């Protein structure tokens, strides 16, 4: 209790010193040293854009997972697959945020980092089939991968005149090890699933095409495919 009172007293003292005319406590922002911050603005801007893209992908997967969870669809395997994919994309965004923080970025305007109002998710709840969802996911992952590669090119050899000699090899290496390997494996996995499900549907043509989706969903839920 004594320690709590001491802390409270110090806090009130600090607040009194930095209070504005209305008596409101203000937090004085400490600028800190900046010599160690060497990430160029053009590269930082691309990372922020990538974070937005990762969150957008997560929202798309979340919508797909919700679609297949509905009782009128009831494909728990696909629902679980896309919910996990949404979590992975969200984790990618967190990794990029953590990297920017490690490099001394996001010291201001971090509340504007993710613009949810700009995220448009269009999932046709009447016509979206499992194989269509897998194809859309593959296109989305390819888009994310290409965006990462463009970001790597731009950060390794900045094109702006003032930054052209500031090669960010560390960030490029980070993206290669933490992102690209997973992206390529994920694309291969999705392509394989599209191929397998497509062959099953073709083999079980007509009304049995629904049976192919049902069997694929069960294997997906059990981690067999």
User: What are the start-end ranges of the H helices in the chain?
Assistant: 2-17, 41-69, 76-102, 130-156, 169-175, 181-203, 208-221
CB 54 within 8 A of CB 87: no
Ligand-binding site membership of 115 (annotated): no
- What pTM, to 2 d.p., does this model score? 0.81
Dihedral of alpha carbons 200, 204, 205, 209, sign: negative
Ligand-binding site membership of 54 (annotated): yes
| Mean pLDDT per 10-residue segment, the chain (225 residues) | 49 49 62 70 90 94 94 96 97 96 79 71 79 96 96 84 72 95 97 95 77 94 92
Per-residue pLDDT at 114: 75
Per-residue pLDDT at 4: 46
Set out the domains of the chain in order of their start, with CATH numbers: 1-30 (no CATH), 37-221 (1.20.1260.10)
Ligand-binding site membership of 162 (annotated): no
Ligand-binding site membership of 89 (annotated): yes
């Amino acid at each position: 209790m004594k320690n709590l009172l001491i802390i409270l007293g110090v806090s009130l003292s600090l607040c009194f010193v930095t209070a504005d005319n209305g008596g409101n406590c203000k937090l004085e922002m400490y600028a800190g040293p900046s010599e160690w911050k060497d990430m160029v603005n053009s590269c930082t801007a691309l990372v922020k854009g990538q974070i937005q893209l990762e969150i957008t992908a997560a929202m798309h997967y979340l919508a797909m997972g919700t679609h297949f969870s509905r009782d009128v669809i009831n494909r728990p395997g696909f629902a679980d697959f896309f919910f996990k994919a949404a979590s992975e994309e969200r984790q990618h965004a967190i990794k990029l945020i953590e990297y920017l923080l490690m490099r001394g970025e996001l010291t201001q305007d971090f509340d504007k980092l993710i613009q949810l109002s700009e995220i448009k998710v269009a999932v046709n709840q009447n016509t979206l089939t499992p194989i269509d969802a897998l194809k859309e996911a593959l296109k989305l992952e390819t888009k994310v991968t290409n965006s990462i590669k463009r970001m790597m090119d731009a950060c390794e050899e900045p094109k702006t005149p003032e930054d052209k000699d500031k090669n960010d090899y560390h960030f490029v290496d980070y993206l290669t090890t933490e992102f690209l390997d997973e992206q390529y494996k994920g694309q291969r996995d999705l392509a394989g699933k599209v191929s397998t499900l497509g062959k099953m549907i073709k083999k079980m043509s007509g009304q049995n095409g629904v049976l192919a989706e049902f069997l694929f969903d069960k294997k997906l839920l059990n981690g067999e495919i």
